[in-house]
Structure 1
C-alpha cells in the first residue's frame, strides 16, 4: 500500500528540473531583498564593521556582489554553481561580521538564532551542488 502511494506520488511530482528552477527563483528573489536594502542604505555600516576588524572597507562592496549580482545569476541560471558559491561565502562573511556570538543562541520562540543565515548558506551550497537544471539561460554543454 505504501509503495503504491509512493509510486503514484512519484509519477505525479517527479520534476527535478522544475524543482531546481523553483529553488533558484525562491532563493534568488528572497536574497535580492537583502541586496535592495544595501542599494537603498549603502554599505557604509559594513565598511565600519570591517574596519573594526582591521580589514579594508572596500570589501563591503562584496555584499553587492553576493546579494545582487550572484542572486540574479542564480535566478537566470548564468554560471549558477559559481554564483551559488559566492552567495555561500558571502553568508559566512556576513555571519562572522554580524552574528559571531550567536552560534549557540536561540530566539524567544526557540529557533536557532542563525536559522536564516544557515538557510541561505546551505541553500547556496545545495544550488552549487545541484546546478541550474535544464531551465536556464546558458546550459552546461556536458549535461545536454
Structure 2
C-alpha cells in the first residue's frame, strides 16, 4: 500500500506543480505589473509582488522535484491564498460560466498544497 501512496503523492505534486509553473513562466515573460497595481491598491508595497516568482516558479519546481516539500507546499499555499484575497475575493461566492465554483482551480491548488504540507513528498522525491 505504501508504494501506491508514494505514487499518488508524486501525481499530486505533478498535478499542481507543473500547471502553476506555467503561470510562473508567463509572469517571467510578461511581467507582474498587474500584481504591483493590485498591491498598490491595497496600500501594500509593490515590491512584495516579486514574491509571485517564488510562489509560482521556485515553489512549483521544488514541489515537482520533491525537494523541501513541506516548505515549498506552504509557500505555494500562501501564494494561492494571496491570489484569492488580492485578486479573486469577488468570486468567492460566484459560479463560472459552466456552473462550477469560480475559484475551484485556486481552491484545488491550495488544498493539495496543504495536503502535501502535512504528508510530505513520499518516496519518489529528492529529499525525505
Whether these two folds match at TM > 0.5 is yes
Q: Which has the higher contact order (CA 8 A, sep 6+)?
A: 2
Instruction: Tell me the TM-score normalised to structure 1 length.
Output: 0.84
Could you tell me how far 1:108 is from its partner in structure 2? 2.1
| Counterparts of residues 4-43 of structure 1 (less than 5 Å) | 15-43=4-32
2:126 aligns to what? 137
Q: Segments of 4+ in structure 1 off by > 3 A?
A: none
2:92 aligns to what? 103
Matched, 1:112 2:96: no
Distance 1:50 1:119 in 2: 24
Aligned pairs, number: 128
Superposed CA offset, 1:88-115 (max 9, x none): 1111111111111111111121101111
Matched, 1:128 2:120: no
The runs of 5 or more residues in structure 1 that have no matched partner are: 1-9, 140-144
CA RMSD of aligned residues (A): 1.5
